[in-house]
Structure 1
Amino acid sequence: MKIVNGFDLMKYAQDHHYMLPAFNTTNLEMTYAIAKGLNKAKLPGYIQISSNNLRLSDPEAIVYLTKKALADNDVPIGLHLDHGKSYEDVKACVNAGFTSIMIDASHLPFEENIEEVKRAVEYCHFYNVPVEAELGCLQGKEEDIVNEADAKTDPDMVADFVAQTGCDLLAVAVGNVHGLDIEPKVDLPLLEQISKISPVPLVMHGGSGIPFDIIQKAREFNLLKVNYGSDLRKAFVSTFGRAYEANHNACSVIELSIEAVENVSEKAAELVTIINS
């Protein structure tokens, strides 16, 4: 199956009442594992990579790997830029063949955030690619970027932000956090309040630390997409860690990589199944 357009994937999920997981990749093994896990579960979702991780894998390489990984798949999967940090990254990913984009200017003042998102939206919509934006800031560590601020999304800003930017998805900060080092305290009443205001579907980052019953409850509040990075990375890295602890001379990269792909795919299949149960 080819990489699915982001608008088509969103509509497919809404029509079938699915929650879309977005699983972070870094390399070939993670990309193949995510595709395998979603196909195993027979449920749709995203393969995504952040601007930060594009330091190792440029957009063209990730598009190529994703196409290869999806060759034998039968479920709809989109390719998403997660936490796009610049307009240049957005353009590079759209030009390479990404089918969904996030521009993250949430660290900027409100009006500057709007201007950055508008610029990305104008470019992406020309190519029929949806744009996710973020309003509010999450605590925790997103790869190598540490944020100690906890600025929840202000419901009073949501309608104006979406109207001015033209974004298609809105990532919210409601007590969710990045990484596994801080305990999330998701404010479901705030999420419900935002859902009544936002004209676009909502996104929750930091899914790895959030209890499944909270995610399932959040589905009632127009939550369409939830991001998972740490759970899959842990499954990948621990494969090599266990082998090393068992034998400090373990060095069969191919065998361990194949095992890691299987472990990550099982975790991806488990997560997408649970959040859609």
Structure 2
Amino acid sequence: MALVSGHEVVRECTARGLVAGAFNTTNIETTMGIVDAIERVGVPTFIQVAPTNVKLSGYEYIYDTVARRLADCSVPVALHLDHGKSLDAVEAALAADFTSIMIDASEEPFAENVAVSAQAREMCGTEVALEAELGSIGGKEDDVAPEFASTTNPAQVAEFVAAVGCDMLAVSVGNVHGYAPNARIDFDLLARVREQSPVPLVVHGGSGLPAEQLGRLAEFGVVKVNVASDLRNAMIRSFGEAYAANPNENSLIRVSLDAVAAITDVVERRIRMLNPSV
């Protein structure tokens, strides 16, 4: 199946009461592992990449790798720009035919966040789904951390979504980027945000959240949950274990296939945590 718009992934998940995982790729091994898991479980999904992870490949390589692997996949998948911190990043991802975009101006004052996010909306048009962020999510992603973190203010949600015209809203409600085993969702705050939001919500930092919390997110209008650190750790661990077992190991393809299998297992577990009924 060809890549679909983020709109289609959101529509199908909403109709079926599912939560889409959003899994970050960097290379062919990560992509293969993600799609293998998607095919096992059958839940519509986002595959995504952040600007910090295209330094080696560029957006076009990521698009080509994902699109080629999905040609034989029957599950709807959107290719998403994760944490586009600038309009230049948005422009580059759109030029590479990404089908879903995140603009992240959450560290800016409210008015500036609205202005930048609204510009991204214009660039995406109506066919490409847009995610924007209100409240700045803490933690580190690729060694990049916000200057400050702040929770989402429910009183600002309706105004923000109306002014931007975004299709999904990323929120800061106790979730933390990176592997943060002590992170916990503030469900009271999440419920108040949901009451004010006319669009589905997005939770970042899925790697550090416990299964019992991930399994509740659908109840609160969450349609997309980002997972990155778990996948990266699985790949790095596979290569590290191979070297530790044999410092003279030279079968790159064998170790790469082991990494794909490890990533597949991680992604499948996370999808099932998000969707306990699947």
State TM-score, norm by structure 1.
0.96
Is 1:165 aligned to 2:192, yes or no? Answer: no
Q: Is the 8 A contact 1:43 1:273 kept in 2?
A: no
Map 1:5-154 → 2, pairs under 5 A: 5-126=5-126, 128-147=127-146, 149-154=148-153
Q: Is the 8 A contact 1:26 1:53 kept in 2?
A: yes
Which has the higher mean CA deviation after the structures are superposed, 243-252 or 160-169?
243-252
Q: Following the alignment from structure 1 to structure 2, what is the Cα–Cα distance between the partners of residues 182 and 36?
A: 26
Gaps of 5+ in 2: none
Aligned to 2:257: 258
Per-residue CA deviation, residues 48-96 of structure 1 (Å, 9 max, x unaligned), is 0001111122111111101111121111111000001111111111121
Q: Following the alignment from structure 1 to structure 2, what is the Cα–Cα distance between the partners of residues 11 and 110?
A: 28
Q: Is the 8 A contact 2:181 2:209 kept in 1?
A: no
Is 1:214 aligned to 2:220, yes or no? Answer: no
1:22 counterpart SS class: strand
Identical amino acids, percent of aligned pairs: 43
Aligned residues: 276
1:142 counterpart SS class: coil
Is 1:276 aligned to 2:272, yes or no? Answer: no
Q: Is the 8 A contact 1:32 1:261 kept in 2?
A: yes
State TM-score, norm by structure 2.
0.96
2:254 counterpart SS class: helix
Q: Is the 8 A contact 1:203 1:226 kept in 2?
A: yes
Q: Following the alignment from structure 2 to structure 1, what is the Cα–Cα distance between the partners of residues 155 and 250?
A: 55
Q: Following the alignment from structure 2 to structure 1, what is the Cα–Cα distance between the partners of residues 214 and 266?
A: 17
- Residue 267 of structure 1 deviates from its aligned partner by 1.3
Give, as a single letter, the amino acid of the residue that structure 2 aligns with 1:178. Answer: H
Aligned to 1:245: 244
Q: Is the 8 A contact 1:177 1:183 kept in 2?
A: no
2:53 counterpart SS class: helix
Per-residue CA deviation, residues 197-233 of structure 1 (Å, 9 max, x unaligned), is 0011000000010011112222111000000001111
Q: Following the alignment from structure 1 to structure 2, what is the Cα–Cα distance between the partners of residues 56 and 26?
A: 9
Per-residue CA deviation, residues 178-197 of structure 1 (Å, 9 max, x unaligned), is 11146213110000000000
Give, as a single letter, the amino acid of the residue that structure 2 aligns with 1:134. Answer: E
Per-residue CA deviation, residues 16-43 of structure 1 (Å, 9 max, x unaligned), is 1110000000111111111111111122
1:147 counterpart SS class: coil
Q: Is the 8 A contact 2:80 2:100 kept in 1?
A: yes
- Residue 8 of structure 1 deviates from its aligned partner by 1.3
Q: Is the 8 A contact 1:239 1:260 kept in 2?
A: yes
Q: Is the 8 A contact 2:105 2:116 kept in 1?
A: yes
1:102 counterpart SS class: strand
Per-residue CA deviation, residues 204-263 of structure 1 (Å, 9 max, x unaligned), is 000010011112222111000000001111111100011111112223222111111111
Aligned to 1:3: 3
Q: Following the alignment from structure 1 to structure 2, what is the Cα–Cα distance between the partners of residues 229 and 38?
A: 15
Q: Following the alignment from structure 2 to structure 1, what is the Cα–Cα distance between the partners of residues 12 and 2?
A: 15
Is 1:186 aligned to 2:219, yes or no? Answer: no
Aligned to 1:223: 222
